[in-house]
Amino acid sequence: MINNVTLVGRLTKDPELKLTPSGVANCRFTLAVNRTFKNQNGEQEADFIQCVAWRKVAENLSNFQKKGSLIGIIGRIQTGSFEGQDGKRIYTTEVIAESIQFLESRNSQGNAQPQQQTQQPTQQQYSQVYQQQFQQQNNDPFAQSNGPIEVNEDDLPF
């Protein structure tokens, strides 16, 4: 089973670091991700995706990024539910950010014009995120082997 998400987008507000009662750092944030097409009026639309980062990833995000920053995240989708005040079941979906890549220099963030916030991420920025994801998944212990791998039938679980 694979649950893997890669997103590139801009923060909708300054990330705010919080601590759990046991002292674990976390940061909830919304990532505005442009769609790859324009609507009927020729306008760019975006999806606003709820995300959460934990521990050092959350600390780095809140310390070094701000509203409008372009970031790439690699993570997984997590769903949940809880009972609302009216007694109805409320369902949630969010991305757990396991890795965050900062895609702009600090200087370009400080000088960003409002119109720049709607630009599509460049191919290079997408490539950086995908390459990092590929490197994480490409830890194949058998990559250097030559020929077939010998497996004893007694070792198979079926």
Fold topology of 5-116: OB fold (Dihydrolipoamide Acetyltransferase, E2P) (2.40.50)
Domain-wise residue ranges, the chain: 5-116
Which of 69-73, 145-149, 151-155 reaches the highest mean pLDDT? 69-73
Task: Label residue 149 by pLDDT band (50, 70, 90).
Answer: low
Nearest to 19 by CA among 11, 30, 27: 27
- Dihedrals phi, psi of 58, to nearest 5 degrees: -65, -40
**Could you read off the pLDDT of 46-91 as tens digits, one per residue?**
999 999 999 999 999 999 999 999 999 999 999 999 998 999 999 9
Q: What is the pLDDT of residue 112?
A: 46
Assess contact for 9 and 69: CB atoms under 8 A. Answer: no
Cα–Cα dist 24/18, whole Å: 8
